[in-house]
Amino acid sequence: PLPCEKAPCPVYGPDEPVDQVIEVKGGRTVEIGLKVGSKIEIEPVSKNTK
């Protein structure tokens, strides 16, 4: 089965060239107030985290 109702499925992309992206669950950006141009800090995850 296709992930959309009829082929070809739509393709979504950025309005400008990008070199990195962050993927988040649908609706999460609204929950945390993340918008285009927002600055974020990414911290590494320790392999020893339980």
Residue-wise DSSP of 36-49: TT------PPPTT-
In this prediction, residue 1 carries a pLDDT of: 62
Q: What total number of domains does the chain contain?
A: 1
Tell me the pLDDT of the chain (50 aa) as tens digits: 667 888 888 888 888 898 888 889 999 999 999 998 899 998 888 887 55
In this prediction, residue 32 carries a pLDDT of: 93
Asked whether residue 11 is assigned to any structural domain, the reply reads no
Asked whether residue 3 is assigned to any structural domain, the reply reads no
In this prediction, residue 34 carries a pLDDT of: 93
Asked whether residue 25 is assigned to any structural domain, the reply reads yes
Asked whether residue 31 is assigned to any structural domain, the reply reads yes
Burial 8-45 (b: 16+ CB within 10 A, else e): eeeeeeeeeeeeeeeeeeeeeeeeeeeeeeeeeeeeee
Asked whether residue 14 is assigned to any structural domain, the reply reads no
pTM over 0.85: no
Asked whether residue 2 is assigned to any structural domain, the reply reads no
Range of 25's domain? 19-45
